[in-house]
Structure 1
Amino acid sequence: MNSNSPPTPSLSDRDIARAFDPARLRQARQLALKTKQDLAGDLAVSPAMIGQYESGVSVPRAEHIPSMARSLDVPREFFATGRPQTSLESGDAFFRSLRSTTAKQRAKATAYTEQLWELVNAIESYVRLPDVDLPGFQGGEIAPETFSKDPTTSAQQLRAAWRLGNSPISHVVRTIESHGIVTILVPFVETEVARIDAFSTMSLSRPVIVLSPSRANDIHRHRFTAAHELGHLVLHGGQTAGDAKLEREADKFAAEFLTPSTVIQDLLPRRLDFGRLGQLSDEWGVSIKSLVYRSRELGLLSDPTARRAYIRLNQLTDEGAIVIQPVHQFAGEVPVLLKQAVELAETRGLTIPMLAKKLAWKPARVRTFLGHIDERPQLTIV
């Protein structure tokens, strides 16, 4: 890479129209959460015409390219063919809190995952990422019979394969990343995808987990969610998302992965003891509420006692006695794999603008995917 190389000439609007990629328009529109009618209004064409653009039946006129780019907040070159891409259906990704997400929201999240694959593909042309270390992984799926279909047993098997023993996992996200699973933290805007905590897919060349702290910026929930998505990758490759049974199985996997039953059942109190539960919460990195659920699940607490505990925990939280700790206070739970890969590539001459140009993205979008946070104070004119 030579940062002193002459700049590549920009494509003209006519060039982009000739090389127009219908899939790029669909992806950009979904990311912008715009309907065909929304975009049609911005371009002064009919919604049917937008549909023809996305299906490849018609090609936009050259003069529409700048308006399209402004409307969808992408560079003009984004719409041209010639860059590696992948296509996912919403059924290929497992969504946390699926029932409270709309099809439009899931489409945006799926488009995010497509772009994440493009970013990973671009980064891997400069830096070798860790090999995927999931037993039985074969580029898009795990070989049948590698893991038990029982969530508890499969969590135990993965713990053994990763040599985690039966001790608390200090850093869940860092552990996942160290085994070659791409994980990112994307803060979705609350008004856009307010109900999406996370989603994951095994349908790409590398397993992907996308986490969002926006809805519940709670380190305990975040760790459990990461383990839940890991459970989907291990248990549900090749299955269509959307089944509540699969969500329950991923929850069981996460509980066993974070708190192995053979150990935790001897540590949990036999009567409701919030002091002891608080100690275990700190030690194992899970919420007191999840420990109450675990106690009921293992037959250590009755259902009525667990219900009373949940009520009391809600009261303690409202009173401020239980403090919710935000994710970014825990460095080991913030993804760093892609960020560190780009930093390594930067030592060989790569820059964020160069990477953005390769992807036909705005540099700010690359920085968002890499987890860069702009901590400068915001100027407000009054």
Structure 2
Amino acid sequence: MTEQLRLLHTDGRPDTASVDIAAIFDPARMTQARRLAGLTKSALAAKIGITPAAVGQWEAGTTPPRRDHLQATADILDVPITFFAIGRPHARLDESAAHFRSLRSTRASQRAKAIAFVEQVWELAYALEKRVQLPPVDLPGFSDGEISRDDLPTDPQEAARELRRYWNLGHGPIAHLVRTMETRGLLVTLIPFAGADTPCVDAFSASRLSRPIVVLAPDRADDVYRHRFTAAHELGHLLLHSDTAPGDPLQEREANLFAAEFLTPRDAIREDLPSRLDFVALDQVSKAWGVSVKSLVFRSRELGLLSDATARRAYQRLKQMENLGLITGDPVTNYPGEVPCLLSKAYALAETKGLTLVTLANELKWKLPRLRLLLGDADPRPALRLV
């Protein structure tokens, strides 16, 4: 992928720490930081020692905060005080523009936190793209955040076949799904954005920005097959449901149908599937195609190779084997092609021409740990533990 990244010119900008931030306060930044911290207006107000109405007035833009309140807020939300200044690109994404894999089990506060995270991923990509030419977005019907579905199939399985043709993927296994998505200009991230809430947010995607973004939860990354299916599921949402409101169970079923056909095309996988239930043979097919045995049982039933009763017995047997520890997931970290790297490689290339983490953090008005997190770069310092 590094070959696709080309350096562009950029101008550095001085930090604004000495400016009276309260005089150039951006209400939207307050909302973003509060949501990233997972706090309600009432909770933030209680920590500052003011009324919730005051916080509401700040975020509505009717009354700016006092300088001492702004500093206290910055400390509580763990951002530099300059974070609240106007003047930086801000991709404001409405909650209705994101497709959550587990929408009904995801609380509103978790969705708000996830949306704020996506906004920051876009900001990081925007800052890097001023210096590095990222791969252009190559997704049917997509043009710089505008969606045109006129020429796209509405049937999910036909859409999957069409995307394979469009991306010239052939009919066989897709060896590196996440890398394939990134080389087509999609932003994919595998960052623990929600902290303790991450297990409640399975995955989600957003297409109404200049680059489509797919967020995969690291808590699901202990099984590369589930991880790949989830990535394909979100790809289906981007292609099929980019201009529709999320939350419809039918959309989830369509995204699953898309993912199954995209990863295991009906006509091609039929030739590899055993004509009867054979777990050894299914395990071999699983490894070759990069999908789970469970999904292959479903595919076999769907293609008429297994009866409903046989498929049910197969699911029960698989569950028993999982409970006995005979089936364990293979972590994504063993498969570099399934670990997102577009943003980290873009930064690494820009770094060869003089960009530093400090410079980039100052430009974004983030703290260094936050920037390292979104780049997928763990803090290199050893952790001190007192016992």
What's the CA shift string for 1:50-72, capped at 9, x where partnerless?
A: 11111011110011122101111
**Aligned residue among 32, 46, 54 for 1:49:** 54
> Offset at 1:254?
0.6
- Following the alignment from structure 1 to structure 2, what is the Cα–Cα distance between the partners of residues 121 and 376? 28
- Following the alignment from structure 2 to structure 1, what is the Cα–Cα distance between the partners of residues 348 and 239? 30
- Following the alignment from structure 2 to structure 1, what is the Cα–Cα distance between the partners of residues 382 and 330? 23
Query: Which has the higher mean CA deviation after the structures are superposed, 128-137 or 188-197?
Result: 188-197
State the match for 1:11 in structure 2: 18
What's the CA shift string for 1:255-288, capped at 9, x where partnerless?
A: 0110000111122122211101100110000011
> Offset at 1:136?
2.8
Does structure 1 residue 89 correspond to structure 2 residue 83? no
Counterpart of 1:60 in structure 2: which amino acid?
P
Counterpart of 1:261 in structure 2: which amino acid?
R
State the match for 2:357 in structure 1: 352
- Following the alignment from structure 2 to structure 1, what is the Cα–Cα distance between the partners of residues 16 and 257? 54
What's the CA shift string for 1:108-163, capped at 9, x where partnerless?
A: 10111111111111111111101111123222133222220000001000001111
Q: Is the 8 A contact 1:190 1:214 kept in 2?
A: no
Counterpart of 2:18 in structure 1: which amino acid?
L
- Following the alignment from structure 2 to structure 1, what is the Cα–Cα distance between the partners of residues 170 and 48? 59
**SS of structure 1 residue aligned to 2:215:** strand
Counterpart of 2:205 in structure 1: which amino acid?
S
- Runs of at least 5 residues in structure 1 that lack an aligned partner in the other structure: none
**Aligned residue among 75, 95, 98 for 1:70:** 75
What's the CA shift string for 1:183-229, capped at 9, x where partnerless?
A: 11112455223221211111001111111121452111110111111
State the match for 2:239 in structure 1: 234
Q: Is the 8 A contact 1:213 1:327 kept in 2?
A: no
- Which runs of structure 2 are paired with 1:12-27 in the superposition (5 Å)? 12=19, 15-27=20-32
- Which runs of structure 2 are paired with 1:338-377 in the superposition (5 Å)? 338-374=343-379
- Which runs of structure 2 are paired with 1:138-157 in the superposition (5 Å)? 138-157=143-162
- Which runs of structure 2 are paired with 1:148-297 in the superposition (5 Å)? 148-189=153-194, 191-215=196-220, 217-297=222-302
State the match for 2:3 in structure 1: none
**SS of structure 2 residue aligned to 1:381:** coil
Does structure 1 residue 99 correspond to structure 2 residue 99? no
Q: Is the 8 A contact 2:113 2:194 kept in 1?
A: no
State the match for 1:302 in structure 2: 307
State the match for 2:4 in structure 1: none
Counterpart of 2:237 in structure 1: which amino acid?
H
What's the CA shift string for 1:284-305, capped at 9, x where partnerless?
A: 0001111111112222222222
Query: Which has the higher mean CA deviation after the structures are superposed, 296-305 or 75-84?
Result: 296-305
TM-score with structure 1 setting the length: 0.95
- Which runs of structure 2 are paired with 1:119-134 in the superposition (5 Å)? 119-134=124-139
Does the C-alpha gap of structure 1 residues 29 and 6 become closer, same or farther in structure 2, counting only changes over 3 Å?
closer
State the match for 1:40 in structure 2: 45
- Following the alignment from structure 2 to structure 1, what is the Cα–Cα distance between the partners of residues 170 and 220? 32
- Following the alignment from structure 1 to structure 2, what is the Cα–Cα distance between the partners of residues 62 and 70? 12
- Following the alignment from structure 1 to structure 2, what is the Cα–Cα distance between the partners of residues 109 and 197? 11
- Following the alignment from structure 2 to structure 1, what is the Cα–Cα distance between the partners of residues 333 and 310? 34
TM-score with structure 2 setting the length: 0.94
State the match for 1:334 in structure 2: 339
- Runs of at least 5 residues in structure 2 that lack an aligned partner in the other structure: 1-7
- Following the alignment from structure 1 to structure 2, what is the Cα–Cα distance between the partners of residues 125 and 334? 24
Q: Is the 8 A contact 1:33 1:192 kept in 2?
A: no
- Following the alignment from structure 1 to structure 2, what is the Cα–Cα distance between the partners of residues 330 and 261? 25
Percent same amino acid among aligned pairs? 54
- Following the alignment from structure 2 to structure 1, what is the Cα–Cα distance between the partners of residues 337 and 221? 18
> Offset at 1:238?
1.0
> Offset at 1:7?
6.1
* Matched length: 379
